[in-house]
Amino acid sequence: MSSYNASDIEVLEGLEGVRKRPGMYIGGTDSRALHHLITEVLDNAMDEAVAGYADKIWLVLAADGSVSVRDNGRGIPVDPHPRFPTKSALEVVMTTLHSGGKFSDKVYSTAGGLHGVGLSVVNALSLWTEVEVIRDGRRSRQRFEIGLAASKLEDLGTARGSGTTLGFLPDPTIFPKTEFQRTRILEMCRSRAYLNRGVVIHVHLESLDEHHQFHFPNGLQDFIQEVADKAGRLVPESFVGQVENIGDDGKGRLEWAIAWTTELDTRLLSYCNTIPTPSGGAHELGLKAALSKGVREFAESRNLLPKGLAPTTDDVIGGMAAGLSVFVPNPQFSGQTKDRLTYPGLSRTVEGLIKDRLDHWLHGNPEQATKLVESVVFRAQERLKRKRSQTRVLRKTATNRLTLPGKLTDCISNDLGATELFIVEGDSAGGSAKQARDRHTQAILPLRGKILNVEHAKRERFEKNSEIQSLITAIGAGVGRQFDVEKRRYGRIIIMTDADVDGAHIASLLLTFFYRYMKPLLVERHLFMAQPPLFKINAGAESHYALDEGEKTRLLKRFESRKRKPPKITISRFKGLGEMSPMQLRETTMDPACRRLMRVVEDDADLTHGTFRRLMGKEPAERLRFIQEKAPFAQDALDI
C-alpha cells in the first residue's frame, strides 16, 4: 500500500490554484472559457459605465492575438494598499484572489464583478498582462507574467483624463486554442451597449482592419426593434418599460423590451448587472409569470378563451423576442461564470412590477392585445391537438410491440442513464456501427444523405420528411413545443458523421434541427458529437489515431523527438466511417472507455440564435460573408 502522510498535502499559493484548476474559475479551457477572459475585463469597464463614471470603452483585438480593453472611468487605484504597504492597490487586485472594490456598495451600488477574482484570474491564465492607469493627473503602468508581477509600478509622468487600459495574451499551455472569434467579440460588445444606453463601445479588429462602434440611445428597445423587424411582427407595438429605484434599498433598476413575432421559437435574453444569464434564474421566472398571468387575465376579462382552454406559459411566450435587464446590489449567481441568477425575492418583485405595467399596456391597446390572445389560443389548441394524437413510443417488450423506424437498430436496456442513440450517415456507416456497438446500451439510426434544413423549410415539408420523422419517432419525446426531454428513450443522443466537409454539413443540419425543435436536449446537456479520427498512424509496432491534421503533426513530432532511431511510419486517411472496420470504429469512436465525445451546449443564446439564422437561413449573402471572414483561418485546412 502506498504511503500517505503530511508531506503529500500540497498548499497552492497565490494564483497557482487558478492555473492548476482553471475550470473552477472560468468553467474549463475551451473556446467559451477563453472568451470568458474578455468578459471579465470588459465587465470591469462596464461596471464603471453603469456607476456613471465612464461613457466610452475601447476594445482592440491585436494581430498577435492579445486583447486590450480601455475605459475612461476613474482608473484602478495605484497608491499603496493599507494591508500590503509594499504593493500598490493595482498589484494586489491583479495578483490576489478575492480582492476588489465590489464587496460593499461604497464604491459601486451595482456591479457585475462580485467575487474579486476576475482580473486576477485573467492575469493567472495569461502569458503576460499589462495595465496602464491614468488617475489623479498621472499615468502609471505595470506588467505581469503568468500571474506574477514582472515589473514594479512605473510612473510615466503627467496625463489628462482618467481611465484603465488592460491588455493580455492567453497562455497556450492552458488553452488548446487561443484564437478569439470575431463574431463572438462583436456580439459581446453589442449586447453590453444595449444594456447601458449611455455607453459607446469601440471595437478594432487589427488583423481584419475592421472598426465597429456600438451605441444604442434607446437601450433594449433598439435591440428588440431590430430583432422583431427581421423576424416579422405579430403585434405591431413592443411592450417596453423601465423602473428605477427597485428593491428594499432602492438602488436597483429593471428594464425590459418585448415583441411578439411570427416565428415559432421564443427568444429571451436576460442579464443581471450587464452579465448574461443564459440559464435564466429569478428575473426570468418573474417575467414569465407576469406575462402568463397578465395575458390570461386579459383574455378572461374579454371572454376570449374557449371554454375549458387553459393556455400555458409556453403558449403565451411562443414567438416572443424579449430582452430583460436587472441591476441589483449583491446579486447571487450559480458559480463564477454567473450563468444563472439566484437572487432571493427578485422573482416576485419583477413579476409585480412588470404585470402592473402589462395590464395597462394590454387594456390600453385592445386591438393588439386581442390579436396576441388569438395567437395564444391557437398555440394552445395546436398543443392539445398534438398531445391527443401523439402516442408515446416505448421500447419493444414481450407484451408491447410498437412501431419504431425500420432503420433503427435498438438496444436491449431500458436504463435511461446507460442508453445511447448514435445517428449515423448512410447504410455503410450504419452497418459498421451496428457491428461495433454494445447491443445492450447502444442503438443505431442510419439516415439517408443530408436531412432537411429546418431553418427555412415550411412546416408542411418538415412534417412530410421521412428522415426527420424517423428521428422524432426514435427519440420518442415529441417535437417543438411538445418536446418533453424526460420522455426521451435514450440518455445520450450522439451525432456520428464522417470527419470531412460532407460530414460536417450533415452534422450542421442535425444541430439546426435539434436546436430549433428539441432544444432541451442542449439545455439539459444530453446531445453529443462523436469524434472519429481522420488518420491512422503506424509507427513500427505502435498504432495511433489522430482526429485532425494538428493532432497528426503532434504525433509525428513526438516520434521524431525520440532518442532512439525513429520507427518506420505509415499514415492512412479514413474516407469515412463506412471504411473503418467495426473493431476500429468501436475502439476509436464508440467504446465509452476510450472514445472522445464533444458535448453540445448553448453558452451564448444571442450568438447561437444569430449564427444559426446567419449560416442556415435564407440569405446566401450572410453565408458568403462568413466564408470571407473565415477564409484567412482556413488556408491550411482545405478538405478536398
Model confidence pLDDT, tens digit, residues 387-423: 765 544 444 443 344 467 778 889 988 888 889 999 9
Most confident of 103-112, 115-124, 191-200: 191-200
Q: Which of 245, 386, 366 is nearest to 315 (CA)?
A: 386
Q: How far is CA 9 from the centre of its chain?
A: 37
Architecture of domain 16-214: 2-Layer Sandwich (3.30)
pLDDT at 372: 93
Most confident of 272-286, 295-309, 554-568: 295-309
pLDDT at 214: 95
pLDDT mean over 523-538:
89
Alpha helices in 27-166 (DSSP H): 31-50, 89-95, 118-124
Q: What is the helix (H) or strand (E) element at residue 20, kind and residue range?
A: helix 16-20
Contact 324, 224 (CB under 8 A): no
pLDDT at 560: 76
pLDDT at 337 over 60: no
The residues assigned a catalytic role are 425, 498, 500, 502
pLDDT at 445: 93
pLDDT at 258: 94
pLDDT at 287 over 90: yes
pLDDT at 365 over 50: yes
pLDDT band at 624 (very low <50, low <70, confident <90, very high): low
Higher pLDDT, 123 or 594: 123
Domain boundaries, the chain: 16-214, 220-389
pLDDT at 380 over 60: yes
3-state secondary structure 133-196: EEECCEEEEEEEECCEECCCCEEEEECCCCEEEEEEEECCCCCCCCCCCHHHHHHHHHHHHHHC
- Write out pLDDT tens, residues 570-616: 888 887 787 788 888 888 899 888 888 889 888 766 677 777 877 78
pTM value surpassing 0.75 = no
Most confident of 55-69, 90-104, 539-553, 570-584: 55-69
pLDDT at 391: 43
pLDDT band at 27 (very low <50, low <70, confident <90, very high): confident
Q: Which amino acid is at 533?
A: P
pLDDT at 351: 94
Q: Which amino acid is at 639?
A: D
pLDDT at 98: 58
pLDDT at 549: 85
When mean pLDDT is compared across 99-108, 219-228, 519-528, the lowest value belongs to 99-108
Q: What is the DSSP string of 276-290?
A: E-TT-BHHHHHHHHH
pLDDT band at 200 (very low <50, low <70, confident <90, very high): very high
**Measured at the alpha carbon of residue 582, what is the angle toward residues 528 and 422, in degrees to the nearest 5?**
25
pLDDT at 303: 92
Give, in words, the CATH class of 220-389: alpha beta
- Write out pLDDT tens, residues 81-115: 878 778 888 998 898 885 554 434 444 344 444 43
Q: What is the helix (H) or strand (E) element at residue 239, kind and residue range?
A: strand 239-246
pLDDT at 235: 87
Contact 107, 44 (CB under 8 A): no
Q: Which amino acid is at 9?
A: I
Handedness of CA 465, 468, 474, 475 (dihedral sign): negative
The Cα 130–Cα 502 span in angstroms is 44
Task: For the chain, give the mean pLDDT.
Answer: 83
pLDDT band at 635 (very low <50, low <70, confident <90, very high): very low
Q: Cβ neighbours of residue 592 under 8 Å, at least 6 residues apart? A: none
Torsions phi, psi for 374 (to 5 deg): -60, -40
